A and B are shown apart, each in its own frame.
Chain A
């Protein structure tokens, strides 16, 4: 037993030492650059949000945290911005994460001031297949969400509904069902929770009026 341990230590000490050193190096780098990366992400988020809500003059992050359950069931802190123009709320912007074909899909979603209708969404980051899944970035798919009611969206195959209809039915991208589903699933999962949280905080009304 002791001989085995000695043999193990002799053969693998360098790997153990190198692993610790590399881990420390990565931790230090992440600690040094992490805040800047987060700032870059927030800047990108607000820049995309500006495209979704052009009337907004400022995007103010909520002062109190909004706790939601992620797709994996774990509680997480949602990124929510209040879009304002002349001190009036013109909409809400938040980030949702879907489980795509290749990796996570991060979306920035905008809802109207009463949180009853979607204004639209844009893709913050995704690694979906070019030509197929990455069509979630294309206007023809994204435009289906504009004006759709906040609630349970349903995904249907091509031909089952018209893409230009403004309703809760979203027509999937042909050949990219997983990516299409990821977007709809993320919206269905996060939106009711966010609406509920904002209502509890008294930031939006309980009906369709702000």
Chain B
């Protein structure tokens, strides 16, 4: 079994990296544009997360398969081509089977093409690793991204509407904070959660 220079299993290292050490939204501050835009409710956040997992895994597989033929000056072109293909497939699938959600997400699904998390993993992992490790990496990073979206969306939807998955979870007496559904709520929640994550990280280290 392959190990990292410090003796850790490479697959376990990839999972830990994606889910905590380099979790895209909270530790690397990558993909913040869709993070702020689609986290007003949990359903669009979850849909966006699943789309990103699909695109990450598929593009990582493709890039890993092509890694021996990559030339420096066409590398980025190939990454973009691969990512754009899978994003378009995800977009078409949503328009066919989840038209309401596709409309709710608007331009943010096509914009996954320029999500730096995907190209980051293509460059940092898939272009120099085997297919299996690239799949594990894509899954871990995608799940990490989805967890981050869902954490923010849960806070915003519950405080903003009193519901979760559109099901009431707070007593009717609770006044819904409409601001949580607006951009100001997105920035506020994101900042507070980031502060909490940094606090926990410092405590641990």
Contact = CB atoms under 8 A, between A and B. Distances in A.
Interface string A115-129: 000000000010100
A36 B102 CA distance: 14
Interface in A71-119: none
B93 interface: yes
B82 interface: yes
Contacts of A125: 103
Contacts of B191: none
A22 B74 contact: no
Interface string A27-69: 0011001001100100010000000000000000000000000
Contact of A14 (B78, B96, B107): B78
Contacts of B85: 22, 25-26
A29 B85 CA distance: 10
Interface string B70-95: 11011001100110110011001101
In terms of DSSP, what is the predominant structure of the interface of chain A? Answer: helix
B74 A11 contact: yes
Contacts, number: 52
B96 A37 contact: yes
Contact of A29 (B66, B73, B82, B92): B92
A33 B99 contact: no
Nearest to B72: A11
11 contacts: A12-B71, A14-B66, A14-B78, A22-B85, A26-B85, A26-B88, A33-B93, A37-B92, A40-B95, A44-B99, A127-B107
Interface of A: 11-15, 18-19, 22, 25-26, 29-30, 33, 36-37, 40, 44, 125, 127
Interface of B: 62, 66, 69-71, 73-74, 77-78, 81-82, 84-85, 88-89, 92-93, 95-97, 99, 103, 106-107
